[in-house]
Amino acid sequence: MANMKQIAELAGVSLGTVSHVLNDTARVREPLRKRVLEAVRTTGYQPSQLARGLRRDKTNILAMIIPDILNPFFPGVVRGAEDVAFSNGYRLVLCNTDNDHGKEVMHLNALRTYLPSGLIVIPSDFSDLTAQTESYRRAGSAVVCIDRLPRNWDGDSVTINNADGAASATSYLIGLGHRHLAVITGPLHLTNSQDRLKGFKRAARQAGLEVPPNYLQETTFDRAGGYAKARILLKMIPRPTAILACNDMIALGALLAIREAGLHCPEDISLIGFDGLDLTETTTPQLSSVYQSSYQLGATAAQLALDRVEKKNTPVRHIILKTELRIRDSVAAPPSNVEVVAAATPKKLRKVAS
């Protein structure tokens, strides 16, 4: 691989001049400029990102820290960020924390010496991101927090409107005539879980509905959790006629529990998930869900990070994306309910903005 010195010799100019034309950091006379560009072209010269990074105290690297790429919600986030990074000449380095705070810290430490321009983080459980990224911010890296926020986060962030999303699903069920609404939430130390629960409660309250405490089940964001808590809910008397699952994995587990209990969805019980993953299309029945664009989440975060690289002292931005209620086959009016308001099982996908 050629270096600047060789380009300089080839073009018959000095090394500094080469740098100037490459970075457009000084006006260079056209003939020289041309010779340099020509030399670059023929040699296929590319500047060393390492040397440049060392010199500039910053590399064209965007680091992304997520819980686990195996969780089907995250690939979209990563892809969104990578697309924006790539089209701006940045590379994406990916780190999985498994929601382990210790691993998060290790990644944060290890990444620092690569001097990434930006850092996009989905904080792990009990993350103390604010403190842990202090050194990054001091070093001039843009830190963007997404999906959920750690305590006291005062930097840039991108989240979705969790409360409104959950509320829209809840209202929809209520509109269908449901009065016995249960909710299975994710871990309530996570802000997104909290907000979804808030939305659920708000919608219930607005409809004058009382939600008994045992209709509110907290669990992990996975199938096993949804399965276990749905089993509990299904044994209650009165049995809930509808369940809001706070993500699609929980909904999947709930669906299994419903089937195992000999019940039918949506005839006996309605179910709405959250996230709108692709796999909601391939279940039987197709799962209704509060859709959010994981891709846009990642893309927006990357853009935010790059923006801040450009202009350091811009005011902090907190972007909140919208959700979209996607009704498929897993919801219907409650069984034998005299108060039924809406029609029976919707068969086609309908979109309802939230």
Partner DNA sequence: TTGTAGGCGTTATCAG
Partner DNA sequence: CTGATAACGCCTACAA
Q: Which is nearer to its own copies, 282 or 336 (CB)?
A: 282
Taking the complex as a whole, the smallest distance from the CB of residue 335 to its own copies amounts, in Å, to 22
The residues, ordered by sequence, that sit 6+ positions from 138 with a Cβ below 8 Å of its Cβ are none
Alpha carbon distances (Å) from 332 to 194, 232, 288, 289, 340: 26, 22, 11, 14, 10
By CB under 7 A, tell whether 138 contacts DNA. no
Q: Which is nearer to DNA, 27 or 235 (CB)?
A: 27
By CB under 7 A, tell whether 112 contacts DNA. no
Residue 32, binding choice from its own copies, DNA, none, Cβ under 5 to 8 Å by partner class:
DNA
Residue from 10, 45, 148, 302 touching DNA (CB under 7 A): that is 45
CA neighbor of 297 nearest in space, from 323, 271, 328, 273? 323
Residue from 42, 46, 135, 214 touching DNA (CB under 7 A): that is 46
By CB under 7 A, tell whether 37 contacts DNA. no
Q: How many residues sit close enough to DNA to count as binding (CB under 7 A)?
A: 31
By CB under 7 A, tell whether 103 contacts DNA. no
Taking the complex as a whole, the smallest distance from the CB of residue 42 to DNA amounts, in Å, to 15
The residues, ordered by sequence, that sit 6+ positions from 181 with a Cβ below 8 Å of its Cβ are 170, 173, 174, 200, 204, 209, 211, 215, 240, 241, 242, 243, 244
First to last CA, the chain: 54
CA neighbor of 241 nearest in space, from 330, 313, 117, 133? 330
- Cα 95 from Cα 67, distance rounded (Å): 8
- Do 333 and 183 contact (CB within 8 A), yes or no? no
Q: Which residues bind its own copies (CB under 8 A)?
A: 1, 46-51, 53-54, 59, 61, 68-70, 72, 74-76, 78-79, 82-83, 86, 89, 91-96, 107, 109-115, 135, 139, 252, 255, 278-279, 282-284
Q: Which is nearer to its own copies, 203 or 243 (CB)?
A: 243
CA neighbor of 259 nearest in space, from 231, 224, 287, 229? 231
Taking the complex as a whole, the smallest distance from the CB of residue 93 to its own copies amounts, in Å, to 5
Taking the complex as a whole, the smallest distance from the CB of residue 115 to its own copies amounts, in Å, to 6
For tokens 């020509």, name the residue.
38
Residue 213, binding choice from DNA, its own copies, none, Cβ under 5 to 8 Å by partner class:
none
- Do 206 and 268 contact (CB within 8 A), yes or no? no
Provide the H-helix boundaries in 145-187: 162-175
Beta bridge partners of 13: none
Taking the complex as a whole, the smallest distance from the CB of residue 234 to its own copies amounts, in Å, to 19
By CB under 7 A, tell whether 15 contacts DNA. yes
CA neighbor of 39 nearest in space, from 16, 87, 6, 63? 6
Q: Which is nearer to DNA, 55 or 138 (CB)?
A: 55
By CB under 7 A, tell whether 139 contacts DNA. no
Taking the complex as a whole, the smallest distance from the CB of residue 229 to its own copies amounts, in Å, to 18
Taking the complex as a whole, the smallest distance from the CB of residue 303 to DNA amounts, in Å, to 23
CA neighbor of 176 nearest in space, from 330, 353, 354? 330
Q: Which residue ranges make up the site for DNA (CB under 7 A)? A: 1, 3-5, 13-17, 19-20, 22-23, 25-29, 31-33, 45-48, 51-52, 54-57
